[in-house]
Amino acid sequence: MQTTEPALAPALSDLRVLEMGQLLAGPFCGQLMADFGAEVIKIEQPGAGDPMREWGREKPHGQSLWWPVIARNKKSIEINAREAAGQDLIRRLVAQADILIENFRPGTMEKWGLGYDELSAINPRLIMIRVSGYGQSGPYSQKAGYGAIGEAMGGMRYVAGDPSNPPSRAGISIGDTLAATFACVGGLMALHARTRTGRGQIVDSAIYEAVLAVMENLVTEYDKTGYIRERTGAILPNIAPSNVYPTKSGVYVLIAANQDSVFKRLAAAMGRPELAADPRYATHTERGQRQAELDALIAAWTATLDREELGRILDEAGVPRGDIYRAPEMLEDAHFKARKTIVDVAHPLFGSLKMQNVAPRLSANPGRVVTAGPELGQHNDEIFRGLLGLGPDDLARLVADKVIGGSARDAA
């Protein structure tokens, strides 16, 4: 008889996370944890909720298509954190939580009596993840700082785009998601440390520092040589060939053949094997010094081939290449389908929504997308009654005082 191994629980399924953030910088951290099974309880303002519920360019049925992704796998409850009774409820939740995520302006949680000193006295094992524009300390810490500001100060905006244009953006909110990703990594590091110390700690993730962290050797280059990186469009200076090249089909293909052995294969695929032995192109350094002329040679060749034929030739030669995808190409790609890179998620209004799957992939305890973003207050009853054990009279009073969401009828 053939047997199968029992499915293991997702990697973070034994964690309870309170998410008090809003928009992207905090909630993306919560999404990453929820993707791997953590119980993420999102605390939202009664009646209003996270502004992300309203964001998005396209809004069929008046509903955000951003919210189902950023809030997937989470639970939603409504608590007014500005009210003393709401703060008391949050403290009761903290007593049973592993992690609290917030991305308010530094000092806000302290103003509400929910700073780390107060919360760690209730639960010494609590890990508090704090995401902000400038971090929790320093002269700029009290300034308002969105992701775009962090991208500018962290160096990304200056080098993004074409040199003929002003500093550009990446087309996504990369500063927010970088800070949230580093926050998640920091939170998991703090969890690991807690296994040794038994105590939690603060994870301080500043957006501008998260952006700077991925800027490679930008600062070190300037420190030792005085070189300032500039906008270079589709290329990295002196890394050649690595660019987008035209095809007969009218679309561009990205080819990355800057390593000596790979360039040799590209030259052979072009029917120009002599290029790899030519002293002008034989080494990484020489190719970098003649980047524009080499790109022109390659572009003249790629323009004679349609995309499919070019792709076949490069694949057979072992030359890295990639089509430049939009959403339609992603949905039709055989590799995306084979790996289930995009999944269908049930939604009460839309029926089904396609969205990106969980990353990275774990062989033993993988994450998965179970639910799309919840309705506002969808889990009020489960958390207030079930987890906190509040009775009908307590709930009715809190609803009447506008401390929690719902109606007196629902509370009864």
Distance CA 295, CA 289 (A): 12
* DSSP helix/strand/coil, 144: coil
Catalytic one among 35, 50, 98, 176?
176
Q: How far is residue 234 from each of residues 141, 231, 258, measured CA to CA in Å?
A: 35, 9, 14
- For residues 52 and 374, what is the distance between their CA atoms, to the nearest angstrom? 12
Say how far apart CA 23 and CA 41 lie, in whole Å: 15
Distance CA 86, CA 122 (A): 16
Cα(392)–Cα(243) distance, integer angstroms: 65
Question: Which residues have a Cβ under 8 Å from the Cβ of 261 and sit 6 or more positions away?
Answer: none
> Which helix (H) or strand (E) segment is 260 a member of?
helix 260-269
Q: What are phi and psi of 230, to 5 degrees?
A: -120, 170
Question: What sign results for the dihedral spanned by CA atoms 109, 114, 118, 122?
Answer: negative
- Whether 323 is a known active-site residue: answer no
Can you say whether the dihedral through the CA atoms of 34, 40, 43, 48 is positive or negative?
positive
Shortest CA distance to 25 belongs to which of 146, 136, 176, 170? 176
The span from the CA of 313 to the CA of 304, in Å, is 13
**Residues tagged active-site:** 176
